[in-house]
Structure 1
């Protein structure tokens, strides 16, 4: 802790995220504000769940109350039960910002917030991986086509994203449906599928922004 006593971090220096990983316990709060979708890791090809925060990389996320733990802990990691930081992250480069520790050497409120986010991720990653694997095993995850056109003439195509197929859910055998129900997966499936409707709201918001932008 001594090396980091004077270290400050500025969350405002974070680069806006277009897509952030979430865990199963975050599905319900995330679905209030954002579409929940699945995608594959570039390095392993493994599926994971995430919240679509904006339609275009680098743009500010859609306003809402939900902040993924993966965003809240950005720049902080867990290594062998210790919290470590990425000093190269932009939020640690500012001369001003929030201290990591108070004058007595205890974690500041901001650092405690990060600790809670890391704990939420650590507790939920394995459970969420298992959820995704069960959905893949019964074949209810399918690609989703997101092609958007705006009044300005701009077009956006979001690729490599997946959703739960409600048709596939309805076609499940009684045995598979009961198994998903008992695991609590069915509720999460419907939360995820319904959250996709936020894409229309995000598109309308961007359309309004483009229309209001100076020519």
Structure 2
């Protein structure tokens, strides 16, 4: 589906309304450092490579296959679904320091939802929320890139292969995912560890590694879903 981006402004979009977000998080969704705590409460946080640039990015795993969100209410997940910043901004983009919208996004309407601008042409509550989300994403991208660059420079990133067997006989092998090597971390000299601590990276590393326990949680949710469907 092609994206039709246009700059958002109160003159042309004074009657534009925003409906609630409808898209489910994909099975692996990019997250920023500021989201690690919330995301790690219910799902694994792993690293992957951007297929276009080859750069590492952090992502929260919601399922094991494309379009599978095991934490969605629709899937009967036992954990409240977490909406990432990237999901909250659905339909909105930042281009050259301006907010742009995808006019083809089904969130936008002139008849349903809440107005984006008030009578004076100022951002209404829904748009102010989007502005905050986009600001967090812009700053979060830079912070997360610095974090992954540090992990890479210290050779802390290692591949992780995940093999899962389900009750219906299906076997899934997930590749192209990475985590942080605690063995390598423990071999770093004191100066490097202190630098990680002062930057707040040490806590983020342990948050990521600790979140891996949720791989089993997601597998159990998937098995329960299969049992209900049988």
TM-score (norm 2): 0.84
Pair 1:14-2:26 in alignment: no
Q: CA separation in 2, counterparts of 1:40 and 1:94?
A: 39
Name 1:82's counterpart in structure 2: 98
Q: CA separation in 2, counterparts of 1:123 and 1:68?
A: 15
Equivalent pair of 2:92/2:101 in contact (CA under 8 Å): yes
Q: CA separation in 2, counterparts of 1:180 and 1:14?
A: 36
Deviating above 6 A after TM superposition, structure 1's stretches of 4 or more consecutive aligned residues are none
Q: CA separation in 2, counterparts of 1:95 and 1:166?
A: 53
Q: Which ranges in structure 2 are unaligned for 5 or more consecutive residues?
A: 1-9, 72-78
When structure 1 is superposed on structure 2, of 115-124 and 40-49 the one drifting more is: 115-124
Name 1:26's counterpart in structure 2: 35
Q: CA separation in 2, counterparts of 1:79 and 1:61?
A: 33
Q: 1:98 to 1:19 in 2, by over 3 A?
A: farther
Aligned partner (choices 13, 24, 28) of residue 4 of structure 1: 13
**How far 1:46 moved relative to its partner?**
0.4
Aligned partner (choices 110, 122, 128) of residue 138 of structure 2: 122
Q: Which ranges in structure 1 are unaligned for 5 or more consecutive residues?
A: none
Q: How many residues align?
A: 214
Root mean square deviation, CA, Å: 2.0
1:39-188 residue pairs with structure 2 within 5 A? 39-62=48-71, 63-64=79-80, 66-92=82-108, 96-188=112-204
TM-score (norm 1): 0.90
When structure 1 is superposed on structure 2, of 196-205 and 90-99 the one drifting more is: 90-99
Which structure has the highest helix share of the two?
A: 1
